[in-house]
Amino acid sequence: MINKTKNRFLKYLPIIVIAVYFAGPIFIGEYLTYLITLMAIMAIVTQGLNVMIGYAGQFSFGQPGFMAFGAYIGAIVVSRMPWIPFPLTILIVALASALLGFIIGFPCLRLSGFYLAMATFGFSSAIFELINYLGPLTGGNEGMYAPAAAIGKWKLTSTDDVYYIAAITVVLVMIGVKHISKTRTGRAWNAIRDDEIAASSMGINLQREKLKVFAFGAVLAGVSGLFYSYLIRYIESSYFSAMGLSFFLIMVVGGTGRVFGPIYGSIFIIMLPQVFGGKFNQHMNLVYGIILVLFVLLAPNGFYGIWDKIRNKSSVNMNLRDKLFSWIKRERVK
268-307 pLDDT, tens per residue?
A: 888 888 877 666 666 777 888 888 888 878 777 777 777 6
User: Residue 11: is its pLDDT beyond 80?
Assistant: no
β-partners of residue 234 are 145
User: Pick from 66, 44, 69, 64: which is nearest to 214 by CA?
Assistant: 66
Cβ neighbour number for residue 113 with a 10 Å cutoff: 17
E strand intervals along 55-165: 144-145, 149-151, 154-156
pTM, whole model, 2 decimals?
Answer: 0.84
| Cβ contact 61:46 at 8 Å | no
Rounded Cα gap, residues 323 and 304, in angstroms:
17
Sign of CA dihedral 297, 298, 303, 305: positive
Q: How confident is the model at residue 251 (pLDDT cuts 50, 70, 90)?
A: confident
The mean-pLDDT minimum among 39-43, 147-151, 183-187 falls in 147-151
282-291 pLDDT, tens per residue?
A: 677 788 888 8
154-172 pLDDT, tens per residue?
A: 777 788 888 888 988 998 9
Rounded Cα gap, residues 100 and 86, in angstroms:
21
Rounded Cα gap, residues 124 and 101, in angstroms:
12
Q: How confident is the model at residue 308 (pLDDT cuts 50, 70, 90)?
A: low
